[in-house]
């Protein structure tokens, strides 16, 4: 009998031969918000679920003045507030002992000497064979300083079967355009081998995103229909309910295109559109995702107005309360033209997707928090059940909900009960929580385990980062040359500007209601 409560589950990892290896996780920025809200709770949940390697420790490095015990208090508060599982006081005593802290400045060479000494002590106490994962939870401007100092201090091991591993995790953004991304990647490559570099995009760790490949290639009913002959169009929506919040300093220099499209959404696109891999291997899958980026039709000044809409949220309502427009948020320039919303129509010029439009939209201060990929199939012929031109049948739609309720649904046509022949659309619905009766692991939990296992499938390779920036730069260059002082507004709490509706309605289609 299988151990699982589910009947005969098949365990297939992205790389089935890999398991998390004993290591020390060094978090640069270990006293920061990302560490408190995401990384430490993720590590705690992994430990509680029995997923961490037996010999494991954490060393936080930051400028905040703390000792080991104060750092454990810092971690406990973060876990109590943000963990998906409640803190277990009995378990905490054992878990807390693996947390350590080093106070110091990232640009001080002496700190890296101290770091090497602390790592040697921790590895001896926890029987860790010198394996290290360096997580850069720091502003992008500090990446060069940290990686160069790590190399200079002798903390980067060579890539061979006889040496302990050294791996580095880099948070987005990787640059703010193609030129700066190349500089960041050049710095990383000068100090680490590409095999050691893990460019993290937490969206790729979400359960539904991981399920895209299983859904497409593990079910015979989908892949034969996954092409321009059967699919009318694809919509990808990432809606954020909150405004710019405390990120105004970063966001006003970035905007929705850089913050969401270049990394998160283009990576979702590649998973939906890629060709079937011949093996579940990181390089093979990333090669196939890269092929999609190579096939993206460039957006040029000539077709720009028919493919791109940007806008900024104005005053409106959130949970019944008045909220300010973007330009009135603290830290935002009063004459800012930074987009908080963007809608795109793009095409993938390859054999599978020729002529199929992909409609993408993302924005802040939307009515709800929701991320969805919707594949709309072509309508059946206008005969039989679809013969009434005044009331055409609704097309079949396969919708993958990424957040907040992870799952998928399929809309099909069926007959209403009764003597008369009436057709009605119904939804076949699957949700992870209701089906499996447990909460899905957070994205960072999965991604941290993959780094410990050496599985780079869900991480961005250098060529993917630079290809996506090259495509995005076309849009940025048109905006820069336009010298506009005003962009359309949409009221906070709405689904975006009228211009975005016109973008899709000009093709006799409409945005989905989420």
Q: Is the CB of residue 438 less than 8 Å from the CB of residue 48?
A: no
SS3 260: helix
What length does the chain have?
514
Q: Output helix, strand, coil percentages for the chain, rounded to the nearest 5.
A: 40, 20, 40
DSSP code per residue over 122-174: HHHHHT--S-EEEEE-S-GGGHHHHHHHHHHTT----SSTTS--EEEEEESPS
233, 264, 306, 307: the catalytic one is 264
SS3 335: coil
Q: Is the CB of residue 509 less than 8 Å from the CB of residue 358?
A: no
Annotated binding site for NADP(+): 172
Give strand pairing partners of 428: 410
Strands 231-239 and 370-377: antiparallel
List Cα–Cα distances, 163 to 59, 152, 158, 213, in angstroms: 21, 18, 7, 34
Q: Which residue has the tokens 């680490």?
A: 192
Kindly report the number of other CB atoms within 10 A of residue 4's CB atom: 9
Say which DSSP state 23 is in. E
Say which DSSP state 63 is in. S
> Which of 246, 327, 313, 338 lies closest to 492, judged by CA?
313
- Using left for φ > 0, alpha for ψ between -120 and 50, and beta otherwise, residue 49 falls in alpha
List Cα–Cα distances, 21 to 35, 57, 130, 407, 495, in angstroms: 21, 12, 11, 31, 45
Strands 316-318 and 321-323: antiparallel
Dihedrals φ, ψ of 308, to 5°?
Answer: -135, 135
Counting DSSP H helices and E strands in the chain, the numbers are 16, 17
264 is known as an active-site residue: yes
Annotated binding site for substrate: 202, 206, 240, 259, 364
Annotated binding site: 172, 202, 206, 240, 259, 364
- Write out the catalytic residue numbers: 264
């Amino acid at each position: 009998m299988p151990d699982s409560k589910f009947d005969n589950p098949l365990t297939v990892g992205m790389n089935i031969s890999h398991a998390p290896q004993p290591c020390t996780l060094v978090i640069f920025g270990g006293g920061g918000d990302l560490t408190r809200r995401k990384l430490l709770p993720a590590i705690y949940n992994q430990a509680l679920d029995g997923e961490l390697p037996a010999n494991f420790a954490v060393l936080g490095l930051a400028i905040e003045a703390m000792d080991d015990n104060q750092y454990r208090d810092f971690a406990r508060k973060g876990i109590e507030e943000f963990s998906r599982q409640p803190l277990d006081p009995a378990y905490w005593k054992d878990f807390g002992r693996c947390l350590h802290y080093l106070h110091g400045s990232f640009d001080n060479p002496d700190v890296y000497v101290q770091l090497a000494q602390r790592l040697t002590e921790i590895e001896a106490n926890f029987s860790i064979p010198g394996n290290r994962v360096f997580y850069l939870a720091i502003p992008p401007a500090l990446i060069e300083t940290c990686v160069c100092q790590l190399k200079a201090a002798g903390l980067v091991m060579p890539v061979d079967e006889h040496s302990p591993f050294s791996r580095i995790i880099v948070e987005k953004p990787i640059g703010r355009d193609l030129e700066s991304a190349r500089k960041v990647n050049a710095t990383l490559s000068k100090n680490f081998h590409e095999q050691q570099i893990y460019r993290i995009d937490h969206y790729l760790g979400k359960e539904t995103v991981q399920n895209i490949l299983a859904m497409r290639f593990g079910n015979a009913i989908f892949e034969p229909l996954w092409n321009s002959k059967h699919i009318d169009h694809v919509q990808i929506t990432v809606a954020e309910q909150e405004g710019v919040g405390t990120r105004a300093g970063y966001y006003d220099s970035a905007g929705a295109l850089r913050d969401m499209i270049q990394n998160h959404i283009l990576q979702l696109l590649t998973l939906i559109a890629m060709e079937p891999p011949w093996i579940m291997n990181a390089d093979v899958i990333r090669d196939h995702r890269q092929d999609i980026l190579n096939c993206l039709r460039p957006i040029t000044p000539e077709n720009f107005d028919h493919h791109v809409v940007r806008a900024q949220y104005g005053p409106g309502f959130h949970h019944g309360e008045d909220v300010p427009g973007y330009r009135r948020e603290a830290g935002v320039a009063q004459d800012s033209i930074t987009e908080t919303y963007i809608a795109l129509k793009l095409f993938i010029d390859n054999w599978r997707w020729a002529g199929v439009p992909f409609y993408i939209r993302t924005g802040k201060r939307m009515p709800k928090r929701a991320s969805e990929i919707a594949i709309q199939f072509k309508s059946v012929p206008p005969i039989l059940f679809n013969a009434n031109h005044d009331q055409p049948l609704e097309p079949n739609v396969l919708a993958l909900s990424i957040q907040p309720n992870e799952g998928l649904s399929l809309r099909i046509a069926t007959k209403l009960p009764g003597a008369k022949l009436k057709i009605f659309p119904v939804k076949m619905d699957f949700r992870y929580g209701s089906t499996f009766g447990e909460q899905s692991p957070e994205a960072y939990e999965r991604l941290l385990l993959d780094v410990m296992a050496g599985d780079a499938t869900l991480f961005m390779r250098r060529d993917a980062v630079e290809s996506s920036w090259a495509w995005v730069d076309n849009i940025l260059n048109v905006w820069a040359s336009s010298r506009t002082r005003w962009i359309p507004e949409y009221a906070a709490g709405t689904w975006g500007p009228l211009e975005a509706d016109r973008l899709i309605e000009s093709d006799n289609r409409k945005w989905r209601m989420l």
